[in-house]
Structure 1
Amino acid sequence: MSNTLKVEIHSFSYKKGGIPKDNSGNGGGFVFDCRGILNPGRIEEYKIQTGNDVAVQDYLEEKTQMPDFLKAIKSIVSINIEDYLARGFENLQINFGCTGGQHRSVYSAIKIAEFIKEKYPEVEVVINHDEQPQLNK
């Protein structure tokens, strides 16, 4: 099979929009809850920033359990991507939620997108920041 696997990644807010709908028609995928990680949005200097800002990223990498969280996610996501590639699947959705969809979920979505692009260059990766549309490319 020569189908291209498209991985759609969302960051979202549990409070505002909830878990994104899978429009591929396949249903399923992953939903990871980032609310167990310390929230940089509770610190004044980070309130107006997002998970795309270096200062927030540094905070998440140095002062929280985010590195361990993402390591576990990379492992589980890789299992599905490799299986989906082998079986010719065309769609996988990965969602990261936090309280406001601004810091932890944005950071997680960015880092997992980077990981997938590097490890699986044959995979098409699309990232959507549902609460931070200015970050969508």
Structure 2
Amino acid sequence: MQSKLNIEIHSFSYKKGGIPKDNTENGGGFVFDCRGILNPGRIEEYKIQTGNDIGVQEFLENKTEFPKFFNSIKSLLSISIENYLSRGFENLQINFGCTGGQHRSVYSAIKTAQFIKENYPEANVSIHHDEQLQLNLTSASSN
């Protein structure tokens, strides 16, 4: 019996912890830099929120280049995921970084997990918010 593809998604801070290590010993995966997207953390009403909050999500979807950025990511990921599934690979790591690991990277990780679950149900998906540990409990319960 073929193993499932395990996809681990991380949101992280370039300032605090840096790019997450791949513990599967595959030595790779994707790292997407979200700092090119306008930062909602610089707007007073969003400072204490995260990418898990509706206000931040609406801001990113409607007032930034996030939709264009995310469409490109979906295209790139689809190529690899389909290839990995067809070849029986077991692990893929996808990382999203921003300045503080709070807004853009968190939302990117959430959106990516949703996309993969909807389009590749044969894959196992886990999310790890490296700077927003309180969100890991929410993510784990929605897997």
Q: Give the letter for the 2:69 counterpart.
A: F
Q: Deviations over 1:2-47 (max 9, x none)?
A: 1210000000000000000000111110000000000000000000
**Equivalence map 1:56-135=2 (5 Å):** 56-135=56-135
Calculate the aligned-residue CA RMSD, in Å.
Answer: 0.7
Aligned residue number for residue 28 of structure 1:
28
Aligned residue number for residue 14 of structure 1:
14
Q: Give percent identity, aligned residues only.
A: 77
Q: Deviations over 1:71-121 (max 9, x none)?
A: 000000000000000000000000000000000000000000000000000
Q: TM-score, normalised by structure 2?
A: 0.95
Q: Give the letter for the 1:125 counterpart.
A: V
Q: TM-score, normalised by structure 1?
A: 0.99
Task: Determine helix, strand or coil for the equivalent of 1:10.
Answer: strand
Structure 1: give runs of 5+ residues left out of the alignment: none
Tell me the matched-pair count: 137
Q: Deviations over 1:37-67 (max 9, x none)?
A: 0000000000000000000000000000000
Structure 2: give runs of 5+ residues left out of the alignment: none
| Structure-2 separation of matches of 1:49 and 1:3 | 38
Q: Give the letter for the 1:101 counterpart.
A: G
Aligned residue number for residue 52 of structure 1:
52
Give 4+ residue runs of structure 1 displaced > 4 Å after superposition: none
Task: Determine helix, strand or coil for the equivalent of 1:21.
Answer: coil
| Structure-2 separation of matches of 1:33 and 1:11 | 10
